[in-house]
Amino acid sequence: MRPAAATGERRGGRISVSYRPFRVCVVSYMSQILPGVRVLLGVSGGIAAYKAAELVRRLRDAGAEVRVVLSANAARFVTALTFQALSGNPVRSSLWDEAAEGAMGHIELARWAGQVLIAPASADLLARLAHGRADDLLTTLCLATTAPVAVAPAMNHQMWAHPATQANVACLRARGVRVLGPAEGSQACGESGSGRMLEAAELVAALAATGSVGELAGQRWLVSAGPTYEDIDPVRFIGNRSSGRMGFAIAAAARAAGAQVTLVAGPVALATPPGTTRIDVRSAQQMREAVLAQVDHSDVFVSAAAVGDFRPAAAAPHKFKKADGHSGLELSLVQNPDILAEVAARSPRPFVVGFAAETEQVEAHAQAKLARKRLDLIAANEVGHELGFERDDNALLLLWPGGREALARTDKTTLAQDLVARIARLRARQVAG
């Protein structure tokens, strides 16, 4: 999951990892730690491109199958022949390769990849990724793939610290792209600071430690996110202020950890997290249908959506007009189905996680909801007063039968990674009995 001051040993290989936050020291590889992982290595322009040759060797030693894509600028520093010899596969560098593109080779590469790693990732490459550019083979692949994407920045320390670069990195992180490094130290320009690309062995260890081989591999997660809208007439609806950011961040974090993720999304204007299957809905009834169609095939259900409790008994076929002589408007409301309770009551059922957005007595109300709906875990937070909804940060109180943990306020991407780690741990305990 999200790297943070940890040391550990992985199955299938022994590797000592320490984070500061992403300094990884490889003591020894006793066996392959990325067995069968299909790594599409993108190399962008910069003097650190020479390190990518060693990275290919390290990835193959770790058991990965590697294909390399060079940007036009990268080819000025290193040759395609070098990477072809090291990877054992043809190297691609252009969208205008007639032989490859005759069979839509860029789409084939995008589908082949199990993990995309761009190392080095220059400031220009990060900017183009953040803005969704598709002006060369490498950026086109990143838009076309459903595989997790990781970048290893490499640039002058002033370029790394520039607000534009930091904004681009924040944008990529919010979309689920993992940022590995950079490290601090001397640079090719003769200066020193943060901006060095991590060493090849560090990147291989980071991929293994952060879930590229799948800490949640084989698990199927179902996540609901966003609000629901209940139509009053063709132009008006009852809704709420949920932005969907927390649910989308959870889906991205679970996918990055190796899970197969289906995201049921209410009406939000958010990009689909890479590698997830998205089902768009509008009303609570539609969300219920979508969730129930998927839940029997899911190991974990995270109900992060802010589902409306009520809907109009009947939506008007035409827009209400002031000229109709109404001095007011009375609506007859009926209760929406309780999707979370319905899933929790199923047998068998997945590991069920609910959310409690409260304006007062947060813990008391959350505890009551946990017990009443027989949930495995509930994540509670205070909303209103500029908290919770329509923000980039949040804090959560986690409650489960016999346990409690508070997650401090931080950005929702980081918070989602922490929450997914807790869910995985609690589910593992439950499965183990």
Spatial distance between the Cα atoms of 169 and 71, rounded to a whole number of angstroms: 20
Query: DSSP alpha helices (H): ranges in 271-356?
Result: 284-295, 339-344
**26 Cβ contact list (under 8 Å, min separation 6):** 15, 16, 17, 201, 202, 204, 205
Please, which residues have CB within 8 angstroms of residue 62's CB and are 6 or more apart in sequence? 13, 29, 32, 33, 34, 204, 208
Distance CA 85, CA 157 (A): 33
For this structure, is 189 an active site residue?
Answer: yes
CA 300, 8, 173, 107 dihedral sign is: negative
Residue among 25, 142, 171, 189 flagged as catalytic = 189
Q: Are strands 220-225 and 260-265 parallel, antiparallel or unpaired?
A: parallel
3-state secondary structure of 186: strand
Sign of the alpha-carbon dihedral angle for 161, 55, 214, 21: negative
Tokens of 23: 């300094």
- In the block, which residue shows the tokens 């069920």? 352
Report the distance separating Cα 27 and Cα 156, nearest Å.
Answer: 29
Is 101 within 8 Å of 140 (Cβ atoms)? no
CA neighbours within 13 Å on the CB side: how many for 393?
Answer: 8
Element (H, E) at 58: helix 51-61
| Strand (E) or helix (H) holding 98 | helix 98-101
Q: Which residues are catalytic?
A: 189
